[in-house]
């Protein structure tokens, strides 16, 4: 079975400072991992994905995430936050087996202060 835990429900940073959104996963197989972003009243947009290639994955808008198997983590980072980064972020795991396909974390709301 697969599961994902987002360790912070809310994160607040100042504009121009680094962003760290934490995610831990559990999977019986070699998983694929995703980060999605949702801006207010919008659907979810894929930020980046890991599918067993390079462990450091670069995504859109300057975000990146590192897959660490030993720590079962897939934390999302950005060197310098922008006001437009304020949104909800979801960490997602997929084992690629069975019918459920994706398991979503509970989300982390990122606030960016001017």
Partner 1 sequence: ETGVTQTPRHLVMGMTNKKSLKCEQHLGHNAMYWYKQSAKKPLELMFVYNFKEQTENNSVPSRFSPECPNSSHLFLHLHTLQPEDSALYLCASSPQLGRSRLNEQFFGPGTRLTVL
79 binds partner 1 (CB under 8 A): no
Least spacing, CB of residue 34 vs partner 1, in Å: 7
94 binds partner 1 (CB under 8 A): yes
What DSSP state is assigned to residue 107? -
x-marked contacts with partner 1 along 42-61 as a string, rule CB under 8 A:
xxxxx--x-x----------
b/e sequence 36-58, b meaning 16+ C-beta within 10 Å: bbeeeeeeeeebbbbeeeeeebe
108 binds partner 1 (CB under 8 A): no
Closest to partner 1 by CB, 98 or 114: 98
Mind giving me the DSSP string for 25-44?
A: EE-SS--EEEEEEE-TT--E
41 binds partner 1 (CB under 8 A): yes
Q: Beta 56-58 vs 108-113: how paired, if at all?
A: unpaired
Residues engaged in binding partner 1 (CB under 8 A) = 29-32, 34, 36, 41-46, 49, 51, 90, 94-102, 104-107
């Amino acid at each position: 079975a697969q599961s994902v835990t987002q360790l912070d429900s809310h994160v607040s940073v100042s504009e121009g400072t680094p962003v760290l959104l934490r995610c831990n996963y559990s999977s019986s197989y070699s998983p694929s991992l995703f980060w999605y972003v949702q801006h207010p009243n919008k659907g979810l947009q894929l930020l980046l994905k890991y599918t067993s290639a390079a462990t450091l994955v670069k995504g859109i808008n300057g975000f990146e995430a590192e897959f660490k198997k030993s720590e079962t983590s897939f934390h999302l980072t950005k060197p310098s936050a922008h006001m437009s980064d304020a949104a909800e972020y979801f960490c997602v795991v997929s084992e690629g087996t069975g019918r459920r396909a994706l398991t979503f974390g509970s989300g982390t709301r990122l606030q960016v202060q001017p």
